Amino acid sequence: MLIIDDLRAVPLFSTLPDSQLENLAHTSADLQLRAGEYAVHEGGERALYVVLAGKMEVIKMFDGCERTLGWRVPGTIFGEVPLALSCPFPGGYRAAEPSRVMRVDAQHYYALAAAAPDVALRMGALARERIGGLQGLSAEPPKPRVLFVGSRWDPACRELNQFLIRNQISGDWITLDAPDFASRWRATRPSDEDCPVLRLADGTLLDRPSTRELAERLGLQTKPSLDEYDALVIGGGPAGLAAAVYGASEGLRTMVVEREAPGGQAGTSSRIENYLGFPSGVSGDELATRALQQAKRLGAEILVTRSVARIDVESRHVHLDGGDVIRARTIILATGVAWRRLTVEGFDRLIGKGIYYGAARSETSATHGLDVYLIGGGNSAGQAALYFAGHARRVTLLIRGNSLEKSMSRYLTEQLAVKPNIEVRLNAEVVGAYGETHLTAIDILDNASATVSRHDCGGLFVFIGADAETGWLPAEVACDNRGYVLTGDDVVKAGRWSYARDPYLLESSVPGIFACGDVRLSPVKRVASAVGEGSMAIAFVHRYLQNVER
């Protein structure tokens, strides 16, 4: 409990009369922190904090790594920058030892500043000083954690670049034909066969490493720390990350196994305009990054570059590729779906060399000033077209049907209509792709006139729907004929449930194995519904575990 004497020792409050000190003591929080506990996390809501005892460490995430920016000792404050700029905290404040911190809510601080102008002046001066320090940090030239060399059209380099971007690790891709190659690489020029060649921040050189080897070198978690988990989530998309957040926050030992990078298919989306709480929209990788940070902060483990080889239903042993075996009390399937492939002459040879399934923000730089084509009439294609329009000279959306409105949300069709460098071609499909080392041209069939025309093409991106990849699941887990996992009533209707109780809404044909997100048989395929199902799955996990323990 705060008393006036605690506040008199704080220089910022030393000139305040007893009446104002008494009011502060009654309206402020008295935080007792153990070593390692946070007073406020990076991105937290603005407020004024005063260190009364102990020592606070100022930390901020840079390039996926934690960096200490300074310390706060008794009598000092923090929160002046968020209060001055009405913004979230740019860094986190963590107790380095048992500490006592006073927290003044924003509304109470502003009331105090109005009644005591001297406090406001001193806070403003301190805020200007600290803002200057933050500007100095932002002015430091960024040093990539990974520098790598490879051909512009090497699929291995593209995969590596996408892996780094989606895991929020800075990388610099130097193409072999770059005019400033010598000054940037400063080492012997590697041959095409050796590429990609990587140089890490500590000087280590790696020749064509696997993504798992690179992940381990960069300090990403690739191995489980426990032998048993309460909830094992397979897949790190929106559904899987939501399950991780809610599972960890409710005390369950939770682990996510992700074979590529957190975010799933949604993580490659250039813009999600209709997700609740983001009035200006949010990119898929930003949403995934926030969810990942939240899950980790709450205690969930996130394994990357790992996949599940098989599940032993009887023992609940989950076998990962690489030989690790984990026991899971419950399993949540959140593996999402994979883009459907086109069977067109020349496609397989040019995948990753100008033809791509889906689209990530990392592809835009390669399309600058070129004519690019997108196949598909769904929301993913519309979002990508709008994003590429800011880089490519012209973007053409190819639709097999005769109407875009039937398959795309209205807000997207309206935005596409007003973009001068976006063209929508109906009743059209690609029937050929050409190029030696990379894609240079495509043939387009106009179904209305039955004519074929050839067009120069700087990039072709395919969004023709997706399918569930669940062939690896044990036969005990029931799926429909397209591979989507049956849950709840659908399991009963299929005659795959023989237990006394009814299956829970998201429970598969195997008790304790749940499915959520796009991999589950459901007519709704949206990021918001995936997040909702991921959180709901944890509620059913609790109910299942309670029944098992009875």
Task: List domains and CATH numbers for the chain.
Answer: 4-139 (2.60.120.10), 146-217 (3.40.30.10), 228-337+468-549 (3.50.50.60), 347-465 (3.50.50.60)
Q: Which of 31, 55, 59, 30 is nearest to 43 (CA)?
A: 59
Say what percent of the chain tops pLDDT 90: 55
Residue 139 is predicted with a pLDDT of: 46
User: What is the tens place of the pLDDT at every residue in 210-237?
Assistant: 999 999 999 899 999 999 999 999 999 9
Question: How far apart are the C-alpha atoms of 38 and 31, rounded to whole Å?
Answer: 10
Q: Give every CB contact of residue 160 below 8 A, 6+ residues apart in sequence.
A: 148, 150, 171, 196, 198, 211, 214
CB 298 within 8 A of CB 248: yes
CB 302 within 8 A of CB 244: yes
Q: For residue 50, which amino acid is it?
A: V
Q: Give every CB contact of residue 150 below 8 A, 6+ residues apart in sequence.
A: 156, 157, 160, 173, 175, 176, 195, 196, 197
**Ramachandran area for residue 490 (φ above 0: left; ψ -120 to 50: alpha; else beta):** alpha
User: What is the tens place of the pLDDT at every residue in 23-61?
Assistant: 998 999 999 999 989 999 888 889 999 999 999 999 987
Pairing state of beta strands 171-175 and 47-53?
unpaired
Instruction: Give the burial string for 210-233 (b: 16+ CB within 10 Å, else e).
Output: ebbebbbbbebbbebeeeebbbbb
Q: 196: cis peptide before it, omega within 30°?
A: yes
Pairing state of beta strands 371-375 and 355-357?
unpaired
* Cα radius of gyration rounded to whole Å, the chain: 27
Q: What are φ and ψ of residue 545, in 5° steps?
A: -65, -35
Question: How far apart are the C-alpha atoms of 354 and 271, rounded to whole Å?
Answer: 22
pLDDT in tens, the chain (550 residues): 888 888 988 999 988 999 999 999 899 999 999 998 999 988 888 999 999 999 999 998 776 667 888 999 999 999 988 888 888 898 899 999 999 999 999 999 998 988 888 888 888 888 888 776 555 544 455 678 899 999 888 888 888 888 888 887 888 899 888 888 888 888 888 888 889 999 998 889 999 999 999 999 998 999 999 999 999 999 999 999 999 999 999 999 999 999 988 887 777 777 777 788 888 778 777 888 889 889 998 999 999 999 999 999 999 999 999 899 999 999 999 999 988 889 898 899 999 899 998 876 667 777 888 999 999 999 889 988 998 998 899 999 999 999 999 889 998 999 999 999 999 999 999 999 999 989 999 999 999 999 999 999 999 999 988 889 899 999 999 999 999 999 999 999 999 999 999 999 999 999 999 999 999 999 888 889 999 999 999 999 999 999 886 6
